[in-house]
């Protein structure tokens, strides 16, 4: 067995090859690091594979439309539970992202010792599970990841229609969903996560503005007359809000693809934690301030924009969120594009136009589902309980435990336990706690609550709702109807 130092050097060496689609990006990135005198605008804007690119991708992908539903979750949970659960799930999510990165390194190092080549191939999470644990785990990873990414993309389309309605209500939300579905379909032309450099940077700037707009606008507005903060009141509301927060920190479905796009993937280990710490500065102040200002009114307004006064600052926030949701749609869809390309044998194709044409069938079911289930807040909670709980928390924890269950696997591990973990046993204890907690609280109670709430939305509004939570139409001579709150059952 190689000494530890030699093993680490061998692993670093093994990561010297990346897929041929991104080989040019790697070479140009390396030249930029070695020779600062050369500056290439295309490379600067388009080809990203540094640790900073990964950080921007993780932070940008983690906070999108969920910023607008967190105040709604606080109205279900209460202020204290909302803050505590955000911190708890943020840290737990960072830990499971670390586990995914460790398993990726382990898988790649083992395969490259067998002289496997990853040219023309983007490694994905289900392939890591297949290589380390076998075909059953591959099927589990593929099913949960793809379904999660599918509904994650659906949520982006719903959010686009919900947001633009607050600027222009001449069209109903369903019509806006048609329009934005066509716009988001253009993401088929983005080859890989290397090419999201400028978009990740801009996307995080957009959500930063929106988060601080929500916080400042709520403070300036002040508390509404007779404001009440009665949460938590009902178990179904409490666990629905909790699973929405579980969903907030569940952007791991694209972790492996983001790692694979890095020039040095072994540097990813703590990037997700650093991204989460920044995200806390956005989610905690905005959700707390809006809930402080509006209290229980948020129970009938899953989108925070609907309660804030219409002005230029709000319109700017809406527009920036629309652009960011387009970017996040691309983030969620790109792994689905890769899977579909592999299924139909188009993953090795170098022509961007041919790949884009092959990817279009992926967008159609997303578009259709967004029209069937236009329930903005409730669908976040349902996806969190039924999909994110397994994809983000349970499967990575179990996979790590099973991969290193033998003494030889632990001895030859590509990555040893981190400095703050005293032993492998401590890692097993923490992973087991996460599995039990998320299965019981997230999937069990959260699944019951979120599905109950989701079914009530269908019973109230029906499938294919034309304009979910819109202002009721004003009959001639009835000026009071417009002021009636939107009907919203829980």
Render pLDDT for 436-455 as a digit per residue (tens, 0 to 9).
999 999 999 998 988 887 78
Measured between alpha carbons, how far is 310 from 319 in angstroms, rounded to an integer?
Answer: 13
**pLDDT at residue 192, as a whole number:** 66
**pLDDT at residue 60, as a whole number:** 84
User: Distances from the Cα of 476 to the Cαs of 162, 467, 481, in angstroms?
Assistant: 26, 20, 10
If residue 256 lies in a helix (H) or strand (E), which one and from where to where?
Answer: helix 255-260
CB atoms within 10 A of CB 362: 22
Q: At what angle do helices 197-221 and 312-344 cross, to 10 degrees?
A: 150
User: Per-domain residue ranges for the chain?
Assistant: 52-461
Q: Which CATH architecture has domain 52-461?
A: Up-down Bundle (1.20)
**pLDDT at residue 329, as a whole number:** 85
**pLDDT at residue 101, as a whole number:** 92
Tokens of 215: 């916080």
**Intra-chain end-to-end CA distance of the chain, in Å:** 60
Whether 393 and 439 have beta carbons less than 8 Å apart is answered as no
SS3 228: coil
Q: What are phi and psi of 351, to 5 degrees?
A: -70, 120
**pLDDT at residue 80, as a whole number:** 95
Measured between alpha carbons, how far is 1 from 76 in angstroms, rounded to an integer?
Answer: 55
**pLDDT at residue 353, as a whole number:** 85
Tokens 């916080």: give the residue: 215
Measured between alpha carbons, how far is 189 from 333 in angstroms, rounded to an integer?
Answer: 12
**pLDDT at residue 190, as a whole number:** 76
List the alpha helices (DSSP H) in 350-405.
Answer: 352-372, 376-383, 395-403
Task: Classify residue 466 by its DSSP letter.
Answer: S
Measured between alpha carbons, how far is 366 from 64 in angstroms, rounded to an integer?
Answer: 18
Whether 361 and 340 have beta carbons less than 8 Å apart is answered as yes
Low-confidence ranges of the chain (pLDDT < 50): 1-39, 473-490
pTM: 0.79
């Amino acid at each position: 067995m190689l000494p530890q130092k030699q093993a680490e050097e061998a692993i670093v060496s093994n990561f010297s090859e990346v897929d041929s689609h991104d080989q040019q990006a790697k070479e140009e990135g390396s030249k930029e690091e070695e020779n600062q005198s050369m500056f290439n605008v295309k490379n600067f804007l388009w080809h990203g594979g540094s640790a900073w690119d990964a950080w921007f991708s993780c932070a940008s992908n983690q906070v999108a439309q969920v910023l607008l539903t967190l105040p709604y979750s606080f109205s279900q949970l209460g202020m204290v539970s909302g803050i505590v659960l955000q911190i708890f799930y943020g840290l737990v999510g960072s830990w499971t992202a670390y586990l995914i990165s460790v398993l990726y390194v382990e898988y790649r190092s083992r395969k490259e010792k067998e002289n496997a080549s990853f040219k023309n191939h983007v490694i994905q999470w289900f392939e890591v599970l297949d290589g380390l644990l076998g075909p059953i785990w591959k099927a589990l990873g593929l099913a949960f990841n793809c379904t999660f990414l599918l509904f994650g993309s659906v949520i982006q389309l719903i959010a686009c229609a919900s947001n633009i309605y607050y600027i222009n209500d001449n069209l109903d939300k369903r019509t806006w969903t048609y329009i934005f579905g066509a716009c988001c379909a253009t993401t088929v032309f983005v080859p890989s996560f290397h090419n999201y450099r400028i978009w990740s940077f801009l996307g995080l700037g957009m959500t930063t503005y929106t988060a601080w707009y929500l916080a400042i606008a709520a403070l300036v507005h002040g508390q509404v007359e007779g404001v009440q903060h009665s949460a938590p009141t009902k178990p179904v509301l409490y666990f629905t809000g909790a699973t929405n927060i579980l969903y907030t920190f569940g952007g791991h479905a694209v972790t492996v693809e983001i790692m694979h796009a890095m020039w040095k993937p072994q540097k990813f280990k703590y990037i997700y934690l650093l991204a989460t710490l920044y995200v806390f500065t956005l989610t905690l102040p905005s959700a707390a301030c809006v809930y402080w200002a509006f209290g229980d009114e948020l129970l009938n307004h899953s989108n925070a924009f609907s309660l804030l006064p219409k002005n230029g600052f709000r319109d700017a926030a809406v527009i920036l969120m629309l652009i960011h949701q387009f970017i996040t749609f691309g983030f969620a869809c790109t792994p689905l594009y890769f899977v579909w390309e592999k299924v139909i044998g188009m993953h090795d194709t170098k022509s961007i136009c041919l790949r884009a044409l092959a990817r279009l069938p992926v967008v159609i079911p997303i578009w259709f589902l967004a029209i069937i289930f236009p329930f903005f807040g409730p669908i976040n909670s349902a996806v969190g309980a039924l999909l994110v709980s397994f994809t983000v928390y349970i499967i990575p924890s179990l996979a790590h435990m099973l991969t290193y269950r033998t003494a030889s696997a632990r001895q030859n591990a590509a990555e040893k336990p981190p400095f703050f973990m005293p032993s492998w046993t401590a890692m097993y204890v923490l992973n087991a706690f996460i599995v039990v907690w998320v299965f019981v609280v997230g999937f069990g109670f959260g699944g019951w609550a979120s599905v109950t709430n989701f079914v009530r939305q269908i019973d109230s509004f029906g499938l294919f709702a034309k304009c979910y939570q819109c202002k009721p139409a004003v009959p001639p001579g009835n000026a009071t109807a417009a002021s009636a709150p939107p009907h919203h059952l829980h």
